[in-house]
Structure 1
Amino acid sequence: MAKIGIIGSEGRMGQAIAAVLADSEHDFGGGVDRDEQAFELAGECDVLIDFSSPQAVENNLQAAMSANIPILIGTTGLGALEMGQIDDAAHDIPVLQTGNTSLGVTLLAHLVREAASRLGPDWDIEILEMHHRHKVDAPSGTALLLGEAAAAARGIDLASHSESGRDGHTGARAAGAIGFAALRGGSVAGEHSVILAGTEERLTLSHSAENRSIFARGAVRGAAWLVGQPPRRYTMQDVLGI
């Protein structure tokens, strides 16, 4: 049983996590919405879950390190700066950073990596995602997570092989590219499909999120798993043992 604190507790994900905690074996250690309060929260908890903003990541990592407790970061839209800060913090505390805490998506990423590896570069990869109208970043963190899985399987760098925002006369598809398309509208919690298109055949691996609670349950499971782990950077695949 772990005492779990939530950074970003008044956001959609923060509220969903609090609801899951209320019906779990774990304790809700409290929540904050301003990063300067994270230090006090960290001192009262066994682990932190952060669903706030990229700008708050550094301060939230510092709060976790000051209390010597783990932190799970589910905030999306992170850049190279924040990723570097996470790498640095992982030398001192356990840090799990992910673009999606769903257990189903975690397994999907594993399957994407297997498929991309076994089918080879002759198969084109396209990633399609749709989210609610309020989502501010694109492609989604989950789409990027799936793209990274495909890129890793092929031994390539995603940043230099990704294509998105196609419009107008774009020319032929670049060989070896990983394409992204983002749709926004309504109240969609999350839809992701990875399409592997070969000559005269096509394989689609997909996941549908029906409610935000699936991410909350995964976040709670991941955070509780982090407690007692040695300092390192972890993923949700570590939680599932795959």
Structure 2
Amino acid sequence: MAVNIVILGAKGRMGNTLANMTLADDELNLVGACERKGNADGMVYEDCEVSDCLEDLLPKVPGAVVIDFTAPESSVATAKLAARFGNPVVIGTTGINKEQVAELEESAKKAPIFWAPNMSVGVNVLLSFMPKLVEALGEDYDIEVVETHHKMKKDSPSGTALKLAQCLAEARGWEYDDVKKHCRDGIIGERPKKEIGVQTLRGGDVVGDHTMYFFGPGERIEVTHRASTRDTFAAGALRAAKWMSTQKPGKLYAMADMF
């Protein structure tokens, strides 16, 4: 049986990609497309509810999985509405802070909620094996992360860079907030041994590049993931939506749960 899908921000770059890929997938039905207040004009999809108010839309599509790649405040609000109406939600929004994660976790007690700052299968495979590399190399290797995105991206560092850096810090047994260095400027002195730098580049139309550096005595190792199209994130989100259609409330789900 096909899974019903509602796309938030359907006129945006990611939303449009998600809508088109949903329409092309026989296992999915696009039943809802939602935009900001006053911005829904011009959206036309066959047999699909179009709205600029998710609160009005959800009662018309019971059980449909909502996919949200919008903004932190909007995604938190989406999760709260989902908790009210019982719709599963897949969130790919980046820049969500600790307080907002706590709000998502609260909503996840009442509706199936999934959140991943990066829906790429490749990135999530990296997250699964990078701790083994950190452990094997030992503490003589300094860890740095560099991320590059298009000039329209609003949050910095990227959610993926933060997730990778947090994963690497955890592998060292460190608390990330105690060792992070998101910017260097001026006379900063020698690099502390207990530090992970995360640097940001912005420009052009780069979809997303992330490189992890391991600087050791006499050598360095670079592990890079490059996204060449938003399709990879959309494919991950739609895969998650299919999976979430059968999940129960009770926890904030992540890519690791699906794998």
Q: Is the 8 A contact 1:39 1:64 kept in 2?
A: no
Counterpart of 1:209 in structure 2 is 227
- Which letter does structure 2 place at the counterpart of 1:6? I
Mean alpha-carbon deviation: is it higher for 38-47 or for 149-158? Answer: 38-47
Higher mean Cα deviation, 28-37 or 50-59? 28-37
Residue 17 in structure 1 maps to residue 18 in structure 2: yes
**1:64-92 residue CA offsets vs partner (Å, 9 max, x unmatched):** 11221221111111112211101211222
Inter-partner Cα distance in structure 2 for 1:30 and 1:230: 22
Deviation at 1:214, TM superposition (A): 0.8
Are 2:83 and 2:108, in contact at CA under 8 Å, matched by a contact in 1? no
Deviates more, 1:179-188 or 1:66-75: 66-75
Q: How does 1:48-59 map to 2 (within 5 A)?
A: 48-59=66-77
2:104, 2:254 → 1: CA distance? 12
Q: Hey, what's the Cα distance between the residues in 1 that align with 2:247 and 2:166?
A: 25
Distance in 2 between residues matched to 1:133 and 1:92, nearest whole Å? 37
**What's 1:239 paired with?**
258
Q: Give the gaps of 5 or more residues in structure 2.
A: 38-51
Q: Distance in 2 between matches of 1:33 and 1:118?
A: 47
Structure number with greater CO (CA < 8 Å, separation at least 6) is 1
Query: 1:4 — aligned with what?
Result: 5
Structure 2 CA distance, aligned partners of 1:72 and 1:120? 36
| Runs of 5+ consecutive residues of structure 1 not aligned to the other structure | none
Structure 1 segment 150-229 matched on structure 2, within 5 A: 150-229=168-247
The amino acid that maps onto 2:55 is F
1:218 is displaced (CA, Å) by: 0.6
Counterpart Cα distance in 1 of 2:76 and 2:147: 28
- What amino acid is the match of 2:257? D
Distance 1:206 1:37, change over 3 A: same
Deviation, structure 1 residue 120: 2.9
- Distance apart, 1:26 and its partner CA: 0.6
In structure 2, the CA distance between the partners of 1:113 and 1:94, relative to structure 1 (3 Å rule), is: farther
How big is each residue's C-alpha offset from its partner over 1:81-107, in whole Å with a ceiling of 9 and x where there is no partner?
Answer: 211101211222222111111111111
Q: Is the 8 A contact 2:17 2:230 kept in 1?
A: yes
1:138 Cα shift?
Answer: 0.8
CA RMSD in angstroms comes to 1.6
- Separation in 1 of the partners of 2:170 and 2:8? 31
| Number of equivalences | 240
TM-score normalised according to structure 1 size? 0.93
Q: Which one of 27, 31, 34 corresponds to residue 33 of structure 2?
A: 31
Structure of higher CA gyration radius? 2
Corresponding residue for residue 40 of structure 1: 56
- The structural deviation recorded for 1:167 is 1.5
Opposite residue 193 of structure 1, the aligned amino acid is T
| Compared CA separation, residues 40 and 114, structure 1 to 2 (3 A) | farther
Give the aligned partner of residue 125 of structure 1.
143
Q: Distance in 2 between matches of 1:41 and 1:196?
A: 48
